[in-house]
Chains A and B, each alone.
Chain A
Amino acid sequence: MTTTSSSAFERILDPSGRADPYPLFGELRRTPVARQPDGTYVVSTYREIVALLHDPRVSSDRRNLGGPDTDPGASGKEDGAISFIGLDPPAHDRLRRLAMRHFGPPHSPGVVDGLRPAMLAITTELIDGIAGKRRADLVDEVAYPLPVAVICRLLGVPQEDEPQFHAWADQIVETLGPGEEDRAERERERLAVARDLERYLGGLAEERRRQPGDDMLSGFVTYRGPEGGMSPEEVVSTAVLLLIAGHETTINLIANGMLTFLRDPGLLDRLRADPGLIVPAVEELLRYEPPVQLVSSRIALDDIVIAGTTIPAGSPIVLALAAGSRDPGHVADPDRFDPCRARNEHLGFGGGVHYCFGAPLARLEAQIVLAELVRRLRGPRLVADPPPYRPSAVLRGPRHLLVDYEGVAPA
């Protein structure tokens, strides 16, 4: 590699290549642990990514980055203002437990499955909404409204506030990602938007404290157990995290899914003939077109020797999940979409203690909406291939997905 040509990773970050980063990920994997000019180490092979996801010498707390470049705003933050995705154990474990208590087993085992009827009803309404025409943008008209409605319902955000919500989340997502050079500037942008979102959620939390409902926000503000509960700052930071992580990723999973299906008419026919196939198909999507392509926020706390390379203490680490899930050393014929893979072990939801909190929700939403789109859209065709993409290299997905169709089957 010469200093004049950009590295495979720099080209991956360049939005112009967003439509198909996979050849670049293949190039990246030739150096499983690749040092970037800014000192970041990018890890791209399956085995090494899994190892680092389970390595306690890898921190998710950016306050450990140290050095003169650290943004003073971030390093001065108290634990409570940082959501658990940016914390290490034990603070991470405590907050995640407090959040999980209102979302999944063992304390709330029925929450996700209980949303199934609502998800189907919202999906039906959205697809009914495009039945009268012959062209629709599946991102704006289906893939976006469903996850937003579901996460808002879960958290207890009033329906009329959903569009405002999505705008905030969108702006925040575009400031995320690897790269240390412009990080301080992006962090300032992010904080400006986050302040509005936090102010709104703080107000909502205050209402729920006075008058609790059966939503997660009410659970966050009211629960007090043997290890206490969430502070007001923690309630807000956790809600912000779940809102952003809970819908941007699912929108991309759904849009990437329809795009993949529409590119392969044979696959569409198989999905129509065997509706049960949608379950392994979503699993394969998480491997083949993962909504979260990069984990870009890890820091080495000590020198870590991996795949023959030493990552020095204090270095930022990027885990290229999308490259790892297509590592030919891990999965046979990795660039083929095959919903019938026997043992589909992928990095679509990450791994280790930061494994995707909302995985069961994302799976179910994608299964329901993709199954309904496959069943109801008659003769769907892509209008543009590739479609236009959002700029983010981290949360990758189409900005629009225009589809022509001959009709819409009844619900």
Chain B
Amino acid sequence: MTDGRIVIVGASLAGARAAGVLRREGFAGSLTVIGDERQEPYDRPPLSKQVLTGQVAPGHTMLPHLREVDAEWLWGTPAAGLDMAGKQVRLADGREIGFDRVLLATGTRARPWPDEAEAALEGVHTLRTTADAERLRAALAARPGRVLVLGAGFTGSEIASVCRELDLPVTVVERGPAPLVNALGGVIGDVAAALQREHGVDLRCGTTVTALEGDGQGRLRGARLSDGSTVEADVAVVALGSIRNVEWLRDSGLAAGVWGVACDAGCRAVDTNGLVTDDVFVAGDIARFPHPLYDYQFMTLEHWGNAVAQAEIAAHNMVSDQAHRWPHLSVPVFWSTQFGVNIKSVGVPTFADEVVITQGSVAERRFAAVYGYRGRITAAVTFDQGLWLEFYQRLIESAAPFPPEFRHVDQDGDGGPVPARVPERLVATAGATVVVTGHDPAERRASLLHAPQS
């Protein structure tokens, strides 16, 4: 397919990258990119790092080469609905944009603090956009007496790291047993916890914030915690994960829900019946796809690298016929910088039953950890040892046996494999119920019954 109409919903990393790939692949038809933010595509990883410390200005993380693509860019126009039969995207302002093929790449937003009144207190932040980063940077530059971070995932941990770099007192409250557990499991989570405490973070694990408290004049004063204690803080950052921007697809007939939008390995969206669609594609944070390396389990990956790789596959497949489509088989990779340590990951660390330190020393915070599942290597995580990651990626791709048993450099090791302590994985249909109706095969249909929204 080299002409016709393609619409991309979502103008951040995945959407913008896909637009460029479509043109590179020779698509000469009309191309429309719809974005809800009022600005050009930009890079988000620096927003929780160099932008907060002030080393990089919030407006200086643009992705200019992504914008140079020949397309009609509609900024600040959220999509409100998808009509698959009529092949139209409905915008919030009422316009309807017709398509022959559409790519859904609406990404995620920060999960807000559930109590709206508390969330509205001055000093309560979330972090997802450049505007968020600029507000938080200014709040930190005003040197608050203490910063409270809710959640010790990657975003929360990086914010805590920035606070310590700025020499600001910070308290981190985490529901789980340690930071980063949802992504890296309990073994490396314990290392992350020690790292935070060494750098002066007041880390409270197994604890949640029960209430944010104001000073009576609309400003944050502190928080009450589940263990009965209180924390005084002028700034709180709610880093409790993200919400996928899929509400606009609710009545589209796609298998879309809080878990994302289901698709096949070629990024073609799956409808509520489990049928693969021909003209609707998905990429980036919202795409829930089966990964052959991980028992074909459906997974969403909210990583920079996944957005890019998946956008390229989706764009290629949108303009290719059945015989020339590619599967999205890249091994997931992500990184984080916190407390002076560069953390990198390859594979899916939560897809593991055991973990072993292969290179370096946990005590020195420089090591490579390898994850295994039922006797094969499924992931590796490095702390300041990222240059070895390519090697472990090849082991993952070749289903190499776990634990690895070869001689290599820096082989002191901290003992043999130990249980990985990874959390339960998200159930694919969380938040909705699937029911099947009809008797005749031509009439059998599945549909999603959503729980009432709270």
Contacts and interface: CB of A to CB of B under 8 A. Distances in A.
- The answer to whether A and B assemble together is yes
Interface of A: 50-51, 54-59, 61, 88-90, 93, 301-302, 313, 352-353, 355
19 contacts: A50-B390, A51-B394, A55-B408, A56-B408, A57-B406, A57-B407, A57-B408, A57-B409, A59-B409, A88-B410, A89-B409, A90-B366, A301-B408, A301-B409, A302-B406, A302-B408, A353-B387, A353-B388, A355-B387
Nearest to A55: B391
B394 A89 contact: no
Contacts of A54: 387-391
A89 B368 CA distance: 12
Contacts of B387: 54, 352-353, 355
Interface in B375-431: 385, 387-391, 394, 406-410
B388 A56 contact: yes
Contact of B359 (A50, A89, A301): A89
Contacts of A88: 409-410
B359 A93 contact: no
Nearest to A88: B409
B390 A51 contact: yes
Nearest to B358: A56
A93 B409 CA distance: 12
Q: Which of B364, B366, B368, B408 has the most CB of A within 10 A?
A: B408
B410 A90 contact: yes
B230 interface: no
Contact of B361 (A90, A302, A352, A355): A90
A90 B407 contact: no
A301 B407 contact: yes
Closest 4 CB pairs of A and B: A56-B408, A88-B409, A89-B410, A54-B390
Contacts of B366: 90, 93
Task: Give chain B's interface residue range (CB within 8 Å of chain A).
Answer: 10 to 19
Interface string B22-59: 00000000000000000000000000000000000000
B257 interface: no
B185 interface: no
B20 interface: no
A99 to B, nearest CB: 16
A55 B387 CA distance: 9
Contacts of B385: 89
Contacts of A301: 406-409
A268 B384 CA distance: 43
A403 to B, nearest CB: 40
B360 interface: yes
Contact of B391 (A51, A61, A93, A302): A51
Contacts, number: 52
A56 B407 CA distance: 8
Nearest to A61: B409
A94 to B, nearest CB: 9
A50 B406 CA distance: 19
Interface in B352-382: 358-361, 364, 366, 368
Contacts of B361: 90
Contact of B360 (A57, A58, A89): A89
Contacts of B359: 56, 89
A59 B390 CA distance: 16
Given A54-B390, A89-B409, 11 more contacts: A50-B390, A55-B408, A56-B388, A56-B391, A56-B410, A57-B406, A61-B409, A88-B410, A89-B359, A302-B408, A352-B387
A302 B358 CA distance: 15
Contacts of A353: 387-388
Contacts of B407: 57, 301-302, 313
A235 to B, nearest CB: 22
B161 to A, nearest CB: 14
Contacts of B358: 56
Contacts of A50: 390
Contacts of B360: 89-90
Nearest to B410: A89
A55 B407 CA distance: 11
Nearest to A90: B410
Nearest to B394: A51
Contacts of B368: 56
Interface centre among A56, A58, A90 (most CB of B within 10 A): A56
A61 B411 CA distance: 14
A301 B409 CA distance: 8
A260 B388 CA distance: 35
B390 to A, nearest CB: 4
A405 to B, nearest CB: 41
Best-buried of A51, A57, A90, A301 by chain B (most CB within 10 Å): A90
Contacts of B410: 56, 88-90
Interface string B130-174: 000000000000000000000000000000000000000000000
Nearest to A354: B387
Contacts of A56: 358-359, 368, 388, 391, 408-410
A77 to B, nearest CB: 17
A93 B394 CA distance: 23
A255 to B, nearest CB: 31
B335 to A, nearest CB: 16
A93 B382 CA distance: 15
Most chain A CB within 10 A, of B368, B385, B389, is at B385
Contacts of B390: 50-51, 54
Contacts of A58: 409
B101 to A, nearest CB: 28
A49 to B, nearest CB: 12
Contacts of B406: 57, 301-302
A57 B366 CA distance: 18
B416 to A, nearest CB: 18
Contacts of A90: 360-361, 364, 366, 410
